[in-house]
Each structure stands twice: as structure tokens, then as C-alpha cells.
């Protein structure tokens, strides 16, 4: 596997037409309007992963990346898509949909556990150990370390395989349609986050 680092955008025609794309983001923190988008990770499920780094002060023009993310013919695979969709919408100005979120699928199907992080999901479903050592690091640094690049790439490396296994379980338990409805709502949940309803459940009684 090879990890490719691109600056400010991806090359045109990087991925085959219509292929589902695994997507992840690295930011300076967890508050989208405050903590800038630094890296976008992409994979079509093949041997390579692609990282797009944005410098401090970037205008986030990225026409090729935006076209890829906004393509309605491509499913975008996420783990905790709510956060990534919000970051991409806020900084790139695109709604990166249609959506599949492995964390939501896990919560719908793995009701025997409360552990739905990517590390746990990859361990149980694929038998692979992920390192999260670089999870809290300076993604805005002018130079990304090899460890950072490998960590970022690993966040999209397994999403296609996870989707295949989760889909089998969703179908087995009769929850595929419910999962799809949740996926379809995610861009709206991200828009609520951006608009200030991040910690408010507007569906709750109180």
C-alpha cells in the first residue's frame, strides 16, 4: 500500500467514475468553526490512500476534490460521518453525500456492545489492530510525519471492507432500510451542528 500526499487538491481523474470513496478528515480540534480543516483522506478501496493537505490560510478552492465529494453518483463512506460532513461543508462548501457511516451501522447492528470506535470495529470485524497513537497531534504542522500520514491513511483504508460486513449484518437483522434513513439524515444533522445545535437533541421532549 502507498500513501500519496497532495497539496490543496487532488489531480483530476484520480478515481474511477462512480466508485464509492472512503472519506475522513483531520482538523485542529473538535469545534468545526474554530478548528480549521487540515487534511482530507480518501480511498476507493484499492491499494493506495490519498491525503489532501491544506495549509494555514488556505482558500480551500480545491475544484477537483469538491467535484469528487459533491458527486451524487458516488457514495461517501465515513466513520462518524457527522463530524466529517460538517467540516467539509463548513470549509469546502460542499455537501459530501450520499452517505454511508460505519459508526451508525455499528450502533444499529452491534447492540451487544457500547464500543463503536473504528479501532474496535476493525479489530472485531476484520481481525486487524489499528494504532491510534497520532489521534491527538498537530495536523496543522507544515510537515506531516510518516506516523501521521500512516495514521490518517488507516482511517479510510478499511471502510470498504467494513461496509461489506456491516451490510451483511444489517440485512440479516432487517435493519438495512433504517440504516439508510439514518445515513440520509446525516448531512442535515451536520448542518444543525454548524448552525449551533451540536449538543441539543431537537427531537427530545425537553
133 pLDDT more than 80: no
User: What's the sign of the alpha-carbon dihedral 50, 55, 60, 61?
Assistant: negative
132 pLDDT more than 80: no
1 pLDDT more than 80: no
56 pLDDT more than 90: yes
With bands split at pLDDT 50, 70 and 90, how would you rate the model's confidence at 189? very high
206 pLDDT more than 90: no
DSSP 8-state code for residue 45: S
161 pLDDT more than 70: yes
pLDDT tens for residues 74-109? 999 999 999 999 999 999 999 999 999 999 999 999
**The predicted structure's pLDDT at residue 36:** 98
**The predicted structure's pLDDT at residue 128:** 95
Rounded to an integer, the average pLDDT of 100-125 is 97
pTM above 0.85, yes or no: yes
pLDDT tens for residues 20-52? 999 999 999 999 999 999 999 999 999 999 999
Q: Which residues have CB under 8 Å from 30's CB, separation 6+?
A: 83
pLDDT tens for residues 193-202? 999 999 999 9
Based on the number of CB atoms within 10 Å of its own CB, is 123 exposed (0-12), middle (13-18) or buried (19 or more)? middle
**The predicted structure's pLDDT at residue 134:** 66
d(C-alpha 144, C-alpha 149), whole Å: 7
Question: What CATH class has 2-148+156-195?
Answer: alpha beta
Amino acid at each position: 500500500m502507498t500513501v500519496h500526499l497532495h497539496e490543496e487538491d487532488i489531480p483530476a481523474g484520480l478515481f474511477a467514475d462512480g466508485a464509492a470513496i472512503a472519506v475522513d478528515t483531520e482538523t485542529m480540534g473538535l469545534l468545526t468553526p474554530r478548528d480549521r480543516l487540515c487534511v482530507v483522506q480518501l480511498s476507493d478501496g484499492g491499494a493506495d490512500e490519498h491525503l489532501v493537505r491544506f495549509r494555514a490560510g488556505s482558500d480551500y478552492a480545491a475544484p477537483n476534490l469538491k467535484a469528487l465529494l459533491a458527486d451524487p453518483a458516488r457514495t461517501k463512506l465515513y466513520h462518524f460521518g457527522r463530524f466529517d460532513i460538517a467540516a467539509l461543508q463548513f470549509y469546502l462548501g460542499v455537501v459530501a453525500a450520499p452517505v454511508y457511516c460505519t459508526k451508525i451501522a455499528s450502533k444499529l447492528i452491534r447492540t451487544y456492545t457500547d464500543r463503536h470506535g473504528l479501532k474496535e470495529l476493525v479489530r472485531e470485524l476484520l481481525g486487524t489492530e489499528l494504532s491510534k497513537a497520532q489521534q491527538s497531534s498537530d495536523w496543522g504542522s507544515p510537515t506531516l510525519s510518516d506516523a501521521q500520514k500512516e495514521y490518517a491513511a488507516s482511517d479510510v483504508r478499511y471502510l470498504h471492507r467494513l461496509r461489506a460486513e456491516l451490510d451483511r449484518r444489517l440485512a440479516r437483522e432487517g435493519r438495512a432500510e433504517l440504516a439508510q434513513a439514518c445515513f440520509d439524515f446525516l448531512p442535515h444533522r451536520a448542518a444543525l451542528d454548524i448552525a449551533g445545535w451540536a449538543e441539543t437533541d431537537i427531537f427530545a421532549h425537553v
